[in-house]
Structure 1
């Protein structure tokens, strides 16, 4: 029996909008918590709303297009498969996808010096931003499950090289499909603005 590993290219999507837009209350479904989720924070400053907005705009994470947002999620998928040879060629004996996800969120360092009204607004905004970013985490979870679902239909191939090519093709195709879902999610929600992720 032998084993191989396939790695999907890193993928990240960003969220959080500075524009004041009406909240439409978008409902989303959520997968089980991601055991591979790491949350990182960047510090923002200010004791007034304009100062806080300016800090978020200046310090938020940068996406692949060079644009800053208030939050960002990077999910990465790695698949590993086992196989064995027999008279019929190469048979798949095991397949699993490992998911690792990093979420970047703002941390307000001047919260104790701000007004109660601004602290309340920050709490509301932070929860909405986390809700939006959790949607990107969900996309990565669904992508991992879809790779496993499609790989389950692959039983064997004429050669082990062909088996590996088929499985890697499945993984890469699914990653591209779910990259597109992340882009659509941001477009639909205005990077979280319709979910209340604006301040």
Structure 2
């Protein structure tokens, strides 16, 4: 019977962290290429994504929300649980199904699309890591003299984590040259 006591003690001292609730949505902009060379032109002409004067083919927006509960024993206030949610919205190109196009053009575009989406999922990961880190950081805040101070500290900590992962996105794009080093280049999928 004593051999189970250490296991029970370990379980009671661990704070369990829930996985964030993730919601993913897509916004598409349609392109209508009639040749391989028109794929790039159509994406450049039709993309709604414009950041600092530069047009992009794909974009990921992520938003982390957090909620927490605390316990006030009259002398101090401490967070007892945290939950996070992550909303991800991808903006991506597509050739509409009802647009008649040479199957080899559609295939080249679809192959490009998969590589672009994989790059964009790297941005989604920033949001996922942020949500997880917020849960961990808020659970580790410790006790405060009053709950208003705790609430302010928790929200400030959450915003600090968001800034860190916004910078991760910037670094990710620099490191991958906006996905080009990961193969995000339509010319890779166009036959010679």
Into which bin does the TM-score normalised by the smaller protein fall?
Answer: 0.7 to 0.9
Give 1:108 deviation, angstroms: 1.0
Give SS of 2:56's match: coil
Structure 1 residues 112 and 43, CA gap change in structure 2 (3 angstroms): closer
Cα distance in 1 between the residues matched to 2:20 and 2:124: 9
Aligned with residue 140 of structure 2, among 142, 148, 153:
153
* Cα displacement (A) at 1:114: 3.2
Change (3 A) 1:172 1:35: closer
182, 186, 192: which one pairs with 2:169? 182
Question: Contact 1:37/1:100 (CA < 8 Å) preserved in 2?
Answer: yes
Q: 1:132 aligns with which of 119, 142, 158?
A: 119
Q: Which residue of 2 aligns with 1:50?
A: 37
Greater RCO, 1 or 2 (C-alpha within 8 Å, sep 6+): 1
Bigger share in helix: 2
Contact 1:57 1:70 in 2 (8 A): yes
Unaligned runs of 5+ in 2: 1-18, 187-192
SS in 1 for 2:55: coil
Q: 1:34 to 1:113 in 2, by over 3 A?
A: farther
Number of the residue aligned with 2:189 = none
The reply on whether 1:195 has 2:182 as its aligned counterpart is yes
User: Pick from 55, 62, 86: which aligns with 1:75?
Assistant: 62
Give 1:103 deviation, angstroms: 0.5
TM value normalised by structure 1: 0.77
Aligned residues: 168
Moved more, 153-162 or 106-115: 106-115
Local SS of the residue matching 2:125:
helix
Is contact 1:39–1:102 with CA below 8 Å preserved after alignment? yes
Match of 1:164 in 2: 151
Q: Could you tell me how far 1:193 is from its partner in structure 2?
A: 1.2
State the TM-score, normalizing by the size of structure 2: 0.79
After TM superposition, give the deviation of residue 134 of structure 1 in Å: 0.8
CA distance in 1 between partners of 2:135 and 2:126 (Å): 14
* More moved, 129-138 vs 148-157: 148-157
Q: Deviation of residue 197 (structure 1)?
A: 1.4
Q: Judge conservation of contact 1:61–1:72 (CA < 8 Å) in 2.
A: no
